[in-house]
Structure 1
Amino acid sequence: MLLSSMLRFTSKQFPHLSRGVCASSLCRLSCSAQVTCGGSRESLSRYPCNYSFFILRSKFKNRYSQHIPKRFMTTESTDRSRIESVNSKREVLPTNIKPLHYDVTLEPNFDTFTFDGHAKIDLDVKEVSHSITLNCLELTLHKTSLNGGEIRKVDFDTERQTATFHLASALTPGDHAKLDIKFSGILNDKMAGFYRSSYIEDGKKKYLATTQFEATDCRRAFPSFDEPAWKATFDINLITQRDLVALSNMDVKSTTILDSDRKLVAFNTTPLMSTYLVAFIVGDLKYIENNDYRVPIRVYSTPGSEHLGRYSADLAAKSLKFFDEKFDIPYPLPKCDLVAIHDFSAGAMENFGLITFRTVDLLLDEQNVTLAVKKRVTEVVVHELAHQWFGNLVTMEYWDGLWLNEGFATWMSWYACDTLFPEWKVWESYVSDTLQHALSLDSLRSSHPIEVPIVREDQIDQIFDAISYSKGSSVLKMITNWVGEDAFIEGVSNYLKKHKWGNTKNTDLWLALNEVSGKNVTDVMDIWTKKVGFPLLKVEELGDNKLRLTQNRFLATNDVKKTEDETIFPIFLDLKTSKGINKQLVLNSRSETIQLPTSDDFYKVNANHSGIYRVSYETERWMKLGQDGADGKLSVEDRVGLVADAGSLASSGYIRPENYFNLVKLWKNEESYVVWEQIIGNLASIKSAFLFSDPRINEGIDAFTAELLSTVIARIGWNISPTDNESAQELKSVIFSAASNAGMENAVTYSQECFSRYISGDKQAIHPNLRSTVFGTVARFGNRETYESLLGITRNPNSEIEKLAALRSLGKIRDPELLDEFSALLMDRSLVKSQDIHIPLAGLRTHKSGIETMWGWFIREWSELLRQFPPGLPIMRYIVQISTSGFTLREQKKMVEDFFAHKDQKGFDQALAQSLDTVSMKIALSSNEATNLQRWLVKNGYK
């Protein structure tokens, strides 16, 4: 599953969301009556060369290719015991019964928003069994039997979301049994389980029924053994109106006309698969087809949008061919469908053979789309197709392996895009995107290890985050850099072949990589995946070209406790000098001293930034590296990573903010949009800490930004012409956005003039790449007329992308009266769909008045928010995060803490902790550096 873009593309597009579960109070009823699992029914309402290296200590030599020291093995042994102890306490289903095959028939009713179902489950008895326990949530059971005979009673545990069938007579090992259940359920509006999605067509509201089962919501659709290890085969049958389309994981076996209005669509039997990958859809759907691959590829959407699926259909054909070759395993299903869904809590979901997407992550108009959106759609499609092998064909045993599932698909999407679209130079963007998202979240005290033991199911949803996706991907990229790309791909292929159709643990992949690379991948990965956080590498220059390297845990709040700094990470140094890059060196102790091989005073640690750590240099070295970057000695990845490290260190108080300003001042002539994006992003991060402080500080930073941009604006401007290549378009977009956010008069005037022509009917007046910035700028400096114009766009947009851009910009309105009016509209689902609630909130979070207005709205609407977005489902986490993380003062933090002090935080407790950590970081920076930064800005003329 790919998360929506809250975490991954916050600055460009839309915040990310994930999946979760909801538990209600315990209910226990006899099976002789109609019974409901999950409580009462609710109202139906995610290179260069090597060289010999001179070393002071001989034990450091060639450490890169050796086993990790035994002290790590000892630590791991302790960790393994702890993890095994935790795993033994997992709240999982009993192992006495194994499902073999499901025969499921479902009939949705769009008038009552319910569905009727019939499930027949073939079982293999492993132990003497007096009962059968499976998962069941918000389903009413009408009739149950085992092998045609009586079931004594059914007990429900809604906290654990299970139903236990007590048998009239015991089953014995080796028996085969068939459990027969007739039931009904809710076609809910929570974007979980079997749910309804709405859309407007010809002025009328219409519905389709679709599914989202990851992580634990198959149980909302039919009773099931809803854990990834319980793989089985499935026969899915859908009863629907004759004029609607029915889809599932497999191709259609038969269609039977039942009466004048209904038909029964039966699908061929699936291969072995986990319940979270089962999917089915019923609705009025059209498709566009690509037959360039050996199985048909179809992109489905509601009528009128099907032509927008051409790009994704063609991309899917290329991607499947690419993965066939790389994994050396043919795509295993007879078809591949990709479906655009109007209401979708994640970005996309990798259901085997029936992949579902948010509409904006699948459909696009190539003539009127931003390059950022095109890249986003590309990555989402490729990510989900990678899952068809890694995750679907071979599946994690349990959810503590989620990170490998999602981290691999994230890494593989970048890897595939680099091959399919070499002109995009995606690895340059990787450093500013995936790596920085990983480091950002992992720098908080409330972070968690990549491989986090799961005990309760309500914990699963909270690990769909930047640690599982971005840090997981970054660890895999780091290992690929170590063992070599060819060895990594070969190891993955061997792993998939050995375990196909089965379930695995993380160590199964490490063993495959050990075998092909000859390196001890297992021990390295155990440290990086089982330990929280990452190191800060401090570099001290001792003279005589000697460096002392020391590692300690990095925390954004710069207050690491001794007990939080016990892990020694194996740090791949990749030291760059004028002789090239040394890839044979690893730091696996607290501190080491090394000798540089040259005397020309040029070096940089973590060349091209494949390592997961930050580097702190002495003050003079920051300036020298800045000049090295200006002189062309550093790659784009080096420059991006250097800026990111300096910006993060400045925001966290490890270095003075002026060190960051002095560094980036040297890069006024920078030509890479990726570097500029990182520079501007770090400036915005520093500004955010002073939002409620002396306004002169942020005014000074804006003045600094304007001066920094002046050279590149004079050279290229921001008018995008048809002859501009993609990099030029991206650079102009970034520069224009930065100039607008800094309040540069010419940028503001340009936006106002373009917007005036745009709303007068000239839809070519704003280039798609500049549209979001133009909308946001006119909102920021606008009046009621501007507000009404943007509101009109959201109500009657030309495209979904245009609507979301206008919706986000409305949050940037500064007028208090208009802000109050807008906040009152946030719960209007005809304007702001549930899946998009984070969009306007993200706009509000960009300014002081918006943050205050949003908090007032949050408090007023708390009860209604809980009703619409139950904490067990994902969206509440992001509402909480956005609504609380913008504050910068101690009294504001206390205000948030007091509000939640006596509230049940289950389902979003980790999100709240991360938000409060972020506020603490800003409090520390604003209280410690306000005076010094203001003095520096004034001294250098930035008023």
Structure 2
Amino acid sequence: MIKWPGSIGRHTKDKDGKTKYIASTQMEPTDARRAFPCFDEPALKAEYTITLVADKGLTCLSNMDVVSEKEVESKMSGGKKNAVTFNKTPLMSSYLLAFIVGELNYVETKSFRVPIRVYATPDKDIELGRFSLDLAAKTLAFYEKEFDSDFPLPKMDMVGVPDFSAGAMENWGLITYRVVDLLFDEKTSGASTKERVAEVVQHELAHQWFGNLVTMDFWDGLWLNEGFATWMSWYSCNKFYPEWKIWQSFVIGDLQNALSLDSLRSSHPIEVPVKRADEVNQIFDAISYSKGSCVLRMISRYLGEQTFLEGIRRYIKKHAYGNTKTEDLWAALSDASGKPVENIMDVWTKYVGYPVVTVTENEGSNTIHVTQNRFLRTGDVKPEEDKTLYPIFLGLRTKDGVNEDVTLSGREADFEIPSKDFFKLNADHSGTYRTSYTPARLEKLGKAAKDGLLSVEDRAGMIADAGALASSGYQKTSSILSLLKSFSGESEFVVWDELLTRISAIRSAWVFEDQKTKDALKAFQRTLVSRKAHQKGWTFGENENHVQAQFKALLFGSAGLSGDEKIVKAAQDMFKDFAAGNKKAIHPNIRGSVYAIALQNGGDAEYDAILNEYKTAKDADERNTALRSLGRAKGEKLIKRTLALPLSDDVKGQDVYLPIAGLRSDKEGIEALWQYLQTNWDALNKKCPASLGMLSTIVQICTAGFVSEEQLKEVRDWFKEKSTKGFDRALEQSLDSIRAKASWLKRDTGDVEAWLAENGYLSKSGDKL
């Protein structure tokens, strides 16, 4: 399942505005027991025969194909209805059972061995399902070959559900999606949306084997489903679209998501003990998905991709229609490789956290000293928290290439290197850890980046590590600011993406500081990005390169939102033309940025135009972009209007977090979010029950923007009087995040102001230059 920050009774409106209903199930993790009496645990597999009784003319779907239909008398209404019976399922877990009843259209392909259909409600253009449909046919054929295992069901249906709290769900043979993750229009959506749709479709299809055919024994093994499906979606996407350079994006995406969450005390092991049903929803997070996929990427690099996949084939063949534990996967990989995989990997899944590897250089020899310790974002690791020793693949890059055999298995060790002129650990950042170098070595690595000695992944990962280490006190924030400045000539999208992410992290931590310092940081961002943004431009050709399109969009948005006058003027001109009725005035790649810039520099008129676009646009991606942008509006009146949206009838339950997430970009929005949460707590609980997982997202959005110990205490004290069942883990993670920023500010406020002054963004007295 793709989980977002349920489950019957979705509704939509037809073309005449009349409300129509669709019944759609969401059983995972523990709701099958609410639908019918059953032993609702993953290990207790059974065969199911489903019959759905519904009004004539409605489409009925379940996991299997239809075996018979007949007319029956309804005892409740007295009228005639259709009884649709489906073929018996294979042996399967109860959480994968699904059924849907509603008015649905479909497109179909028979280019795969079994028929594949994409369904959507009649208010949607079903032809927009062609991209996902064709991709599904190619992906199923690809997976059958890679897994040496046939897809065992007689059909594959994929359905866009109008209101769906999960992003997508891998029900065997009947996958459900948010509409925005299934239907795709090349004319109205940008490159990043296309990539997202491809990733989600390939993720859910990977589950048909990893999760559905072979299922974890219990929820503490959730990562076996989600970690693998995530890794497989990246692997297959890279095979289908090599020009997208997916593995480069992995380093700034899944790897950083995993390292960020796992740097908190309130994180959890990949294999996390689950004691209550309400705890299950809380582990559909960056640990199960992203860290799980990172660990698999790490072992696949160690074994070699083809050996790794051979192990997967043996795992599937041995355990088909059964249940497994993590050690079963390690055993299959050991069998295929002849290497002691369990001894190497067990610690990575059974223990919380990850190490920071500190590198120093021994005088008088070509050797380095490497030490591992627990890494925490708060920078206050206690001795009892630093007992786990990880087997670390150091991936030593030198001018001679990459040595993948260098491994640190204890606390510390010395390693010989060919030369101290150039070396770097964690080549391509395939290891799940941070690396800390001396300032002198970091400066040399910055030069090596300019000299072309580092891969794109190395450069992006090095920036990510430096930013994380600065925020936790291993380095000064001035060091990362200098490093970011030195990368102004960088040419690659993912490096710039990470670079701007790290600037954003600093600005977010400093959001409650004095205005002069905030303006100086904004000016630094503008100075860094503007030249590159102007150079790349913001027009898009008909056959625009996929990566370059995202690069242009990133630079345009960053420069415009940091006050670049030329780009602000361009965005305002586009928006004016758009608001006057020219829907092609804004290219889909920069639609969100143009909206945000217009709102940041506008008022009621801009807000009304974007809100109207949300209410009237036919395409789900267009509507989501508009709704997400409204949080960028400034001023008390418009902030209040935005905060009124989540609980209104205008916003679906699945989208409650979209309009308010953008309010975290400034002090006024963060304070308003906290007041909103307190005032509307009962209503939010009603619309977003903790059992669906959405409340966790809302709590984090409304609290994690804070940066001080005083604010931390206020949030903690308020929740003492509330039941936190169902989101207690998310709340603790939010509090940890606040605590980390508070410590960062205490350490480095003066350091940052001094750097800004020395580099011409502040006068020595604190005035912005």
TM tier relative to shorter chain: over 0.9
Of residues 332, 337, 354, the one that matches 1:512 is: 332
Label 1:438 to 1:881 Cα distance change in 2 as closer, same or farther (>3 A).
same
The one-letter code matched in structure 1 to 2:21 is Y
The answer to whether the Cα contact below 8 Å between 2:107 and 2:127 also exists between their aligned partners in 1 is: yes
The answer to whether the Cα contact below 8 Å between 1:209 and 1:281 also exists between their aligned partners in 2 is: yes
Show the counterpart of 1:419.
Answer: 239
What SS does structure 2 have at the residue aligned with 1:402? helix
The answer on 1:627 being equivalent to 2:627 is no
| 1:326-361 residue CA offsets vs partner (Å, 9 max, x unmatched) | 000111000000000011111100000000000000
Show the counterpart of 1:545.
Answer: 366
1:878-917 aligned at under 5 Å gives the runs 878-917=697-736
TM superposition shift of 1:695 = 2.2
Of residues 402, 407, 417, the one that matches 1:596 is: 417
Separation (CA, whole Å) in 2 of partners of 1:366 and 1:580: 41
Show the counterpart of 2:18.
Answer: 204
The one-letter code matched in structure 1 to 2:87 is N
What SS does structure 2 have at the residue aligned with 1:548? strand
The one-letter code matched in structure 2 to 1:578 is K
TM superposition shift of 1:679 = 0.4
1:253-332 aligned at under 5 Å gives the runs 253-258=67-72, 261-303=80-122, 304-332=124-152
| 1:96-139 residue CA offsets vs partner (Å, 9 max, x unmatched) | xxxxxxxxxxxxxxxxxxxxxxxxxxxxxxxxxxxxxxxxxxxx
Separation (CA, whole Å) in 2 of partners of 1:523 and 1:286: 51
Of residues 460, 471, 496, the one that matches 2:280 is: 460
Separation (CA, whole Å) in 2 of partners of 1:387 and 1:277: 11
The answer to whether the Cα contact below 8 Å between 1:626 and 1:664 also exists between their aligned partners in 2 is: no
What SS does structure 1 have at the residue aligned with 2:360? strand
The answer to whether the Cα contact below 8 Å between 1:197 and 1:341 also exists between their aligned partners in 2 is: no
Percent identical across equivalent pairs?
Answer: 49
Separation (CA, whole Å) in 1 of partners of 2:464 and 2:645: 37
The answer to whether the Cα contact below 8 Å between 1:776 and 1:808 also exists between their aligned partners in 2 is: no
Across the aligned residues of Structure 1 and Structure 2, the Cα RMSD in angstroms comes to 1.2
Show the counterpart of 1:918.
Answer: 737
Separation (CA, whole Å) in 1 of partners of 2:688 and 2:537: 44
| 1:403-431 residue CA offsets vs partner (Å, 9 max, x unmatched) | 11100000000000111111111000000
Of residues 542, 553, 560, the one that matches 1:740 is: 560
What SS does structure 1 have at the residue aligned with 2:48? strand
TM superposition shift of 1:263 = 0.5
The answer to whether the Cα contact below 8 Å between 1:298 and 1:338 also exists between their aligned partners in 2 is: yes
The answer to whether the Cα contact below 8 Å between 1:579 and 1:598 also exists between their aligned partners in 2 is: no
TM superposition shift of 1:261 = 4.1
The answer to whether the Cα contact below 8 Å between 1:709 and 1:735 also exists between their aligned partners in 2 is: yes
| 1:854-897 residue CA offsets vs partner (Å, 9 max, x unmatched) | 11111110111122222232111111111100011221111111
Separation (CA, whole Å) in 2 of partners of 1:736 and 1:508: 48
Q: Would you tell me which structure has more helix in proportion to its own residues?
A: 2
The one-letter code matched in structure 1 to 2:747 is N
Separation (CA, whole Å) in 2 of partners of 1:595 and 1:546: 4
The answer on 1:2 being equivalent to 2:2 is yes
Alignment TM-score, normalising by the size of structure 1: 0.79
Separation (CA, whole Å) in 2 of partners of 1:528 and 1:894: 33
Show the counterpart of 1:231.
Answer: 45
Alignment TM-score, normalising by the size of structure 2: 0.97
1:155-234 aligned at under 5 Å gives the runs 191-192=6-7, 194-234=8-48
Separation (CA, whole Å) in 2 of partners of 1:251 and 1:496: 24
Of residues 646, 652, 655, the one that matches 1:833 is: 652
What SS does structure 2 have at the residue aligned with 1:603? coil
The answer to whether the Cα contact below 8 Å between 1:540 and 1:617 also exists between their aligned partners in 2 is: yes
Of residues 569, 580, 586, the one that matches 2:390 is: 569
The one-letter code matched in structure 2 to 1:196 is R
Q: Would you tell me which structure has more strand in proportion to its own residues?
A: 1
TM superposition shift of 1:594 = 1.5
The one-letter code matched in structure 2 to 1:213 is M
| 1:540-588 residue CA offsets vs partner (Å, 9 max, x unmatched) | 1123222110110000010101111000111100000001111111101
TM superposition shift of 1:723 = 4.9
Higher Rg of the two aligned structures: 1
Separation (CA, whole Å) in 2 of partners of 1:821 and 1:710: 32
The answer on 1:791 being equivalent to 2:605 is no
The answer to whether the Cα contact below 8 Å between 1:233 and 1:271 also exists between their aligned partners in 2 is: yes
What SS does structure 2 have at the residue aligned with 1:460? helix
Separation (CA, whole Å) in 2 of partners of 1:216 and 1:509: 25
TM superposition shift of 1:240 = 0.5
Separation (CA, whole Å) in 2 of partners of 1:520 and 1:507: 11
The answer to whether the Cα contact below 8 Å between 1:657 and 1:933 also exists between their aligned partners in 2 is: yes
Show the counterpart of 1:816.
Answer: 636
Separation (CA, whole Å) in 1 of partners of 2:11 and 2:50: 21
Of residues 165, 178, 190, the one that matches 1:345 is: 165
Separation (CA, whole Å) in 2 of partners of 1:396 and 1:759: 51
TM superposition shift of 1:200 = 4.2
What SS does structure 1 have at the residue aligned with 2:250? helix
Show the counterpart of 1:96.
Answer: none
Show the counterpart of 1:149.
Answer: none
1:601-620 aligned at under 5 Å gives the runs 601-620=421-440
The one-letter code matched in structure 2 to 1:591 is E
Separation (CA, whole Å) in 2 of partners of 1:838 and 1:333: 36
The answer to whether the Cα contact below 8 Å between 1:697 and 1:930 also exists between their aligned partners in 2 is: no
The answer to whether the Cα contact below 8 Å between 1:630 and 1:666 also exists between their aligned partners in 2 is: no
| 1:624-680 residue CA offsets vs partner (Å, 9 max, x unmatched) | 111111111111111110111011112222211121122122222222111111000
Show the counterpart of 2:683.
Answer: 864
1:407-486 aligned at under 5 Å gives the runs 407-486=227-306
| 1:66-116 residue CA offsets vs partner (Å, 9 max, x unmatched) | xxxxxxxxxxxxxxxxxxxxxxxxxxxxxxxxxxxxxxxxxxxxxxxxxxx
TM superposition shift of 1:368 = 1.9
The answer to whether the Cα contact below 8 Å between 1:290 and 1:296 also exists between their aligned partners in 2 is: yes
The one-letter code matched in structure 2 to 1:915 is S
The answer on 1:682 being equivalent to 2:502 is yes
The one-letter code matched in structure 1 to 2:283 is I
Q: Which runs of 5+ in 1 are unaligned?
A: 4-15, 18-190
Separation (CA, whole Å) in 2 of partners of 1:852 and 1:814: 13
The answer to whether the Cα contact below 8 Å between 2:358 and 2:372 also exists between their aligned partners in 1 is: yes
Of residues 348, 359, 371, the one that matches 2:191 is: 371
| 1:455-482 residue CA offsets vs partner (Å, 9 max, x unmatched) | 2222211111100000000000000011
Show the counterpart of 1:111.
Answer: none
What SS does structure 1 have at the residue aligned with 2:547? helix
| 1:172-195 residue CA offsets vs partner (Å, 9 max, x unmatched) | xxxxxxxxxxxxxxxxxxx23x44
TM superposition shift of 1:832 = 1.3
1:796-811 aligned at under 5 Å gives the runs 796-811=616-631
| 1:663-717 residue CA offsets vs partner (Å, 9 max, x unmatched) | 1222222221111110001110111001011222222222212221243234322
The one-letter code matched in structure 2 to 1:237 is T
TM superposition shift of 1:722 = 2.8
Residue range with higher mean Cα deviation, 494-503 or 788-797: 788-797
The one-letter code matched in structure 1 to 2:2 is L
Show the counterpart of 2:62.
Answer: 248
Separation (CA, whole Å) in 1 of partners of 2:531 and 2:684: 47
Show the counterpart of 2:764.
Answer: none
What SS does structure 2 have at the residue aligned with 1:684? helix
Show the counterpart of 2:753.
Answer: 934
What SS does structure 2 have at the residue aligned with 1:449? coil
Separation (CA, whole Å) in 2 of partners of 1:844 and 1:205: 31
The answer to whether the Cα contact below 8 Å between 2:120 and 2:126 also exists between their aligned partners in 1 is: yes
The answer to whether the Cα contact below 8 Å between 1:696 and 1:934 also exists between their aligned partners in 2 is: no
The one-letter code matched in structure 1 to 2:388 is T
What SS does structure 2 have at the residue aligned with 1:660? helix
The one-letter code matched in structure 1 to 2:728 is D
Separation (CA, whole Å) in 2 of partners of 1:881 and 1:349: 23
What SS does structure 1 have at the residue aligned with 2:691? coil
The one-letter code matched in structure 1 to 2:681 is W
The answer to whether the Cα contact below 8 Å between 1:549 and 1:592 also exists between their aligned partners in 2 is: yes
Separation (CA, whole Å) in 1 of partners of 2:618 and 2:517: 40
Show the counterpart of 1:670.
Answer: 490
The answer to whether the Cα contact below 8 Å between 2:526 and 2:564 also exists between their aligned partners in 1 is: yes
